[in-house]
Amino acid sequence: MTTRFNTSAPGDETADQVLARIRAGTAGSRPNTDACQSVLKASQTSEFSKAHREERERKMIAASLRYG
Q: Write down the domain spans for the chain.
A: 15-67
Write out pLDDT tens, residues 1-47.
444 555 556 568 899 999 999 998 877 777 778 888 889 999 999 99
19: Cβ contacts below 8 Å, ≥ 6 apart? 39, 42, 43, 48, 51
**Are residues 26 and 42 in contact, defined by beta-carbon separation less than 8 angstroms?**
yes
Q: State the pTM of this model.
A: 0.73
CA angle (66 as vertex; 62, 67 as ends), nearest 5: 120
Rg of the chain taking only CA atoms, in angstroms: 14
- Give the whole-angstrom CA distance, residue 26 versus residue 14: 19
pLDDT at 66 over 50: yes
